[in-house]
C-alpha cells in the first residue's frame, strides 16, 4: 500500500506547496484524503489517474482541504467518468458542496452527473466502512463555529493510516493516532501557539502516548519549513510517495 502526498501545503502557499491532498492506493483500495483548491492540477502533474479513485474523504470545509472538489467533479463530468464516486466528510457536506460548486461555476450544482455520485455525512466516533476502507472520524479543534472538523483513523488492508487534519492539540489525537502504521500530523508552527493549529512542540510532548510506528509532518508554515533540515522527524513534500 502506498500514500502519495499530492499536496501538503497550508492555505497560503507556504513554500510554494500545493493544498492538502493525499492519494492512497492498495491492492483493492484507491482513495483521496482531502481535496484542496489546487488538487486537480497537482493530480494531473503527478500523473494520478482520477478515474480510479473510488472515495474522497474530506476533513473540513476550508478551501485548502475542500475547494478542489468543484474542479475535480467538473473534470470528471467532461472526461466522461463512469465509475461511481463517494465523497464523505463532516455533517453538512452536501450543502457545503452545493454552495462551493455554485460559487465557482454557476448552475454546476444542479448538473446531473453521468456517474453515480454519493455524498455521505460522517458522525464523530462512529466507524463507517466503504468497501475495504474502515474509517473512524474524531472531532478535532479548528474553529468555534460552522461545520464540524474531523481527523481520521483509517484501517484498510491490514494497515492503519491516521491524519490529524488541521487542529490545535486535543486529547482525541491519542486514540486517533495510537500505534498507527502512518500518522500524518499537522505541524503548522515549531513552538509558537497559533489558535486552531498544532505546533510541533505541542505534538511532541504527547507523542509518547500516541506511539505511531511512523510519523510524517504536514501543513507546515514558513516557520517550520525553514527548520526542515534540522528536525528529527520526517516531513511531507509535494509528490512524496511512502510505502505503508
**Which stretches of the chain bind Zn ion, using CB under 5 A?**
62, 64, 166
Terminus-to-terminus CA distance in the chain, angstroms? 5
Query: CB-wise, 155 or 166, nearer to Zn ion?
Result: 166
| CA dist., res. 180 & res. 201, Å (int) | 20
Query: CB-wise, 18 or 155, nearer to Zn ion?
Result: 18
Q: Are 88 and 70 in contact (CB under 8 A)?
A: no
Shortest CB 17 distance to Zn ion, Å: 11
Shortest CB 63 distance to Zn ion, Å: 8
Residue 92 CB-density burial (10 A; 0-12 exposed, 13-18 middle, 19+ buried): middle
Shortest CB 2 distance to Zn ion, Å: 23
Query: CB-wise, 66 or 183, nearer to Zn ion?
Result: 66
Q: Are 32 and 18 in contact (CB under 8 A)?
A: no
Shortest CB 71 distance to Zn ion, Å: 17
Shortest CB 37 distance to Zn ion, Å: 11
Query: CB-wise, 62 or 81, nearer to Zn ion?
Result: 62
Query: CB-wise, 64 or 155, nearer to Zn ion?
Result: 64
| CA dist., res. 235 & res. 228, Å (int) | 7
Residue 95 host element (H or E): helix 93-104
Name the region of 47 (left: φ>0; alpha: ψ -120 to 50; beta: rest).
Answer: left
Amino acid at each position: 500500500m502506498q500514500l502519495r502526498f499530492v499536496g501538503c501545503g497550508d492555505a497560503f502557499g507556504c513554500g510554494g506547496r500545493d493544498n492538502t491532498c493525499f492519494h492512497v492506493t492498495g491492492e483493492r483500495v484507491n482513495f483521496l484524503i482531502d481535496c484542496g483548491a489546487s488538487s486537480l492540477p497537482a493530480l494531473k502533474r503527478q500523473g494520478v489517474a482520477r478515474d480510479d479513485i473510488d472515495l474522497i474523504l474530506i476533513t473540513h470545509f476550508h478551501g485548502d482541504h475542500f475547494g478542489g472538489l468543484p474542479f475535480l467533479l467538473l473534470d470528471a463530468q467532461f472526461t466522461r467518468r463512469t465509475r461511481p464516486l463517494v465523497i464523505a466528510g463532516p455533517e453538512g457536506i452536501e450543502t457545503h458542496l452545493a454552495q462551493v460548486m455554485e460559487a465557482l461555476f454557476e448552475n454546476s450544482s444542479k448538473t446531473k452527473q453521468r456517474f453515480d455520485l454519493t455524498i455521505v455525512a460522517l458522525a464523530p466516533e462512529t466507524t463507517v466502512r466503504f468497501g475495504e476502507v474502515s474509517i473512524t472520524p474524531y472531532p478535532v479543534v479548528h474553529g468555534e463555529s460552522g461545520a464540524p472538523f474531523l481527523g481520521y483513523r483509517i484501517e484498510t488492508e491490514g494497515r492503519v493510516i491516521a491524519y490529524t487534519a488541521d487542529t490545535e492539540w486535543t486529547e482525541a489525537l491519542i486514540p486517533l493516532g495510537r500505534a498507527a502504521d502512518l500518522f500524518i500530523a499537522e505541524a503548522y508552527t515549531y513552538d509558537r501557539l497559533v489558535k486552531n493549529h498544532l505546533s510541533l512542540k505541542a505534538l511532541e510532548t504527547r507523542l509518547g502516548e500516541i506511539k505511531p510506528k511512523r510519523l510524517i509532518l504536514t501543513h507546515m508554515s514558513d516557520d517550520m519549513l525553514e527548520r526542515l533540515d534540522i528536525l528529527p522527524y520526517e516531513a511531507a513534500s509535494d509528490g512524496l510517495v511512502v510505502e505503508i
